[in-house]
Structure 1
Amino acid sequence: MNRIKGKVVIITGASSGIGEATALLLAEKGAKLVLAARRKEKLAEIVTTIREKNGEAVYKETDVTKPADNQALIDYAKEIYGKIDVIFLNAGIMPSSPLSALKTEEWDQMIDINIKGVLHGLAAVLPDFISQKSGQVIATSSVAGLKAYPNAAVYGATKWAVRNLMEVLRMESAQEGTNIRTATIYPAAINTELLDTITDEAAAKGMNALYKEHGISPDRVANIVAFAINQPEDVNVNEFTVGPTSQPW
């Protein structure tokens, strides 16, 4: 059964990688998409591709670090489609480096995008999900949100935070009877633009070698997002660890 058809799905970080692959797959399955990211030209291209295949999609230039942008995104989705069923909080960066490199500006950027970006998205969408007593929040964490890795102290800390936020959201929603479903995804080596944000030379070299050997396509993660959305409303499949079969993460 296709329970995705007709659902209104917001995707942040939709201009490339996992977000883009998920948008293309969900469009094929009949979802109505609202794509969000900072690169509006790239979003426009993806929307055009979806529409050419008779899919439904719009986009909204969004900086997830700004609460007002997140609220504007929610308002735009309701203006276009009248409701919101799912939000996929997928925006994130991964400028890995050892703590001793003291790249404090990058630490702040990761906190602002990877944690605060999720919080701003939740703050914007939860009033609607609570009032309608339904909705689904999906978030991209990382295997670095499950275990510690050198060069990923701050990145991992942000992804551990996402893990905790999502688990508490699931528990509180059950206690409060709001029927909000959650799904947290912990990807390993998925070939996206994440590596482009690494400025530390040694960290970049190591990560590029790892991904070159093991990396798999982001559409593998898109399949999991679709699986989570397609579950019956009374079923919450809340955690997925996903990576290459060949990678001993």
Structure 2
Amino acid sequence: MPRFPPHPDRRPAIVAGASSGIGAATAIELAAHGFPVALGARRVDKCQEIAEKIQADGGEAVALPLDVTDPDSVTGFVCHATEQLGDIEVLVAGAGDTYFGRLHETDTETFESQVRIHLIGANRLATAVLPGMLERQRGDLIFVGSDVALRQRPHMGAYGRPRPGWWRW
């Protein structure tokens, strides 16, 4: 007898940072494999374009505004995604922006912004979906990292410091 019940046929996914890059590619790939997808980012117009492409290819997708530095935005995103797609089964926390600059020349506000986006934002998303996943005894969390977490590069100080936060947790 299996330890857990099988996954349901419908497994809604949310992708934070879905307006470009890895987030957009992940949303497209998940949809191609049958996952209903909620695409979230500050650039919701870009998410809408990607959602329309997914829909044109036969997938199910919605584009919703998301700013991971704003707790109310995260709560609203998860709530609207759940209302439109069903209980969230998969979280892809990939929101981010890259700040280039030497660490000693980066002001504290910029450094703090990178921490809020890359580390605290991912935590906000996880804590928003984990209670339901734990209740259902299933769900997948995916935290998008960066190789900068393993090997710092010049002028990547504020971007690179928060990146290992999820890898070494």
Same fold (TM over 0.5): yes
Specify the alignment match of 2:3 in structure 1.
Answer: none
Which residue type is aligned with residue 54 of structure 1? G
Show CA shifts across 1:19-65 (max 9, x none).
11111122111110011001121111111111111110112101111
Instruction: State the distance in 1 between where 2:39 and 2:76 align.
Output: 13
Shift of 1:106: 2.1
Q: Does 1:131 align with 2:131?
A: no
CA contact (8 A) 1:8 1:31 kept: yes
SS of the equivalent of 2:153 reads: coil
Once the two structures are superposed, residues 187-221 of structure 1 have per-residue CA deviations (whole angstroms, 9 ceiling, x without a partner) of xxxxxxxxxxxxxxxxxxxxxxxxxxxxxxxxxxx
Distance 1:103 1:136 in 2: 36
| RMSD over equivalenced CA pairs, Å | 1.8
Partner of 2:112: 108
- Residues 103 and 33 of structure 1: is their aligned pair in 2 closer, same or farther, counting only changes over 3 Å? same
Rg bigger for which structure?
1
| Structure 2 residue 34 is matched with structure 1 residue 30 | yes
Match of 1:75 among 75, 79, 84: 79
Q: What pairs with 1:1-249 in structure 2 (closer than 5 Å)? A: 6-165=10-169
Count of aligned pairs: 163
Contact 1:97 1:103 (C-alpha < 8 Å) held by counterparts: no
Whole-Å separation in 2 of the counterparts to 1:70 and 1:156: 23
**Could you tell me how far apart the structure 1 residues matched to 2:106 and 2:38 are?**
37
Aligned to 1:190: none
TM-score in terms of structure 2 length: 0.88
1:237 corresponds to which residue?
Answer: none
TM-score (norm 1): 0.61
Residues 102 and 54 (structure 1 numbering): CA distance in 2 closer, same or farther, change over 3 Å?
closer
Structure 2 Cα separation of the partners of residues 25 and 7 of structure 1: 14
Secondary structure at the counterpart of residue 141 of structure 1: coil
Instruction: Work out whether residues 37 and 63 of structure 1, in 8 Å CA contact, stay in contact via their aligned partners in 2.
Output: yes
* Cα distance in structure 1, aligned partners of 2:89 and 2:106: 41
Tell me, which stretches of 5 or more residues in structure 1 are unaligned?
166-249
CA distance in 1, matches of 2:9, 2:114: 34
CA distance in 2, matches of 1:40, 1:147: 32
The worse-fitting range, judged by mean Cα deviation, of 150-159 and 114-123 is 150-159
Q: From the superposition, tell whether residues 56 and 37 of structure 1 become closer, same or farther in structure 2 (CA, over 3 Å).
A: same
Compute the displacement of 1:5 (Å): 6.5
Any idea what the Cα deviations from partners look like across 1:54-92, whole Å, max 9, x if unmatched? 110112101111111111122122212221110000001
Q: What is the aligned-residue identity percentage?
A: 33
